[in-house]
Amino acid sequence: MKGFGLMPPVVDAVAGEARALRTDDPRYPARLRDLSHPPDPIHLRGAWDHDGLVVAIVGSRNVAADGCEMARRMAADLAREGVAVVSGLATGIDASAHQGALDGGGRTGAVLGTPLDRCYPREHAALQHAVAASLGIMSELPPGAHGTRGTFPTRNRIIAALAHAVLVVQAGERSGALHTVEAAERLGRPVGAMPWHADDLYGALPHRLIREHRAVLVRN
C-alpha cells in the first residue's frame, strides 16, 4: 500500500478551526523553530497553548499489554503534575500515552503523519477528537493530502522539538521511536528510557539507549 488516502475524513470530528502558520507568524510554535528545517507551514487544530513542561512519550505500535499500561500510567502521573504529553496518535504506546494524559485530567497533543482532516488508524477517531479538544493536533501535511509510510517517521522530529524531554517506553530495535530519539539528541533534548526484562523483544531499544548512555533509566 503506497498511501493512506482512503482513511475516513474527520473534519467534523475534531474541535476548532484548522489554521496554517508560517514560521514568521508570531503564533507559530516557538520550539519548532529549533529544527534545522521547521515545517513551513505547520497545520494546527486546537489551542496549543500549554506554557509548562511537555514530555513526549513514544514507542512501538505492536507492543505487549504491560508496555501500554506503563505508558498510560506514566502519562496520567505526568498529567497530574501539570505536564503536557505529546505523541503521535499511533496504535500502541502513542494511543496509551494520550489516553493516560486524558485519564489524569491533563492535556495532550498529537503530531499526525496524516493531514488533520484524516484519521489513521480509523478506530482512533474518537481519541483524535479528544486530543484535539485537549491541547490539539498538528501536521505538516495540508488538508486533502495523502499520508504515506514516509510521513510517519518524518513527523517524529516535530514531536521531539515540541517536548522538553522524550521518554521511550517500549520499542524494538528498528522502531520509529529511534527517529524521535535521534531528533531529540540533535536538539539537545534529554531522553529517558524504561527498563524491561532482558529477553523482552520490545525492551530492545530502551536497553540499547541506556547501555550506550544515550538515555537515563526511568522507572516512574
The backbone torsions φ and ψ at residue 52, rounded to the nearest 5 degrees and listed phi first, read -90, -160
Q: Please give the pLDDT value at position 202.
A: 87
Q: H helices within 148-203, ranges in order?
A: 151-162, 177-187
pLDDT band at 153 (very low <50, low <70, confident <90, very high): confident
C-alpha 27/C-alpha 49 separation (Å) is 10
Euclidean distance between CA atoms 171 and 102, whole angstroms: 23
pLDDT digits (tens, 9 = 90+) for 119-148: 989 999 999 999 999 999 999 999 988 777
Task: Give pLDDT, residue 6.
Answer: 38
CA distance to 31, 39, 76, 164, per residue, from 93 (Å): 24, 25, 13, 19
- Distance CA(32)–CA(93), nearest Å, equals 23
pLDDT tens column, 176-217 = 899 999 999 999 999 999 999 878 888 999 999 999 999 999
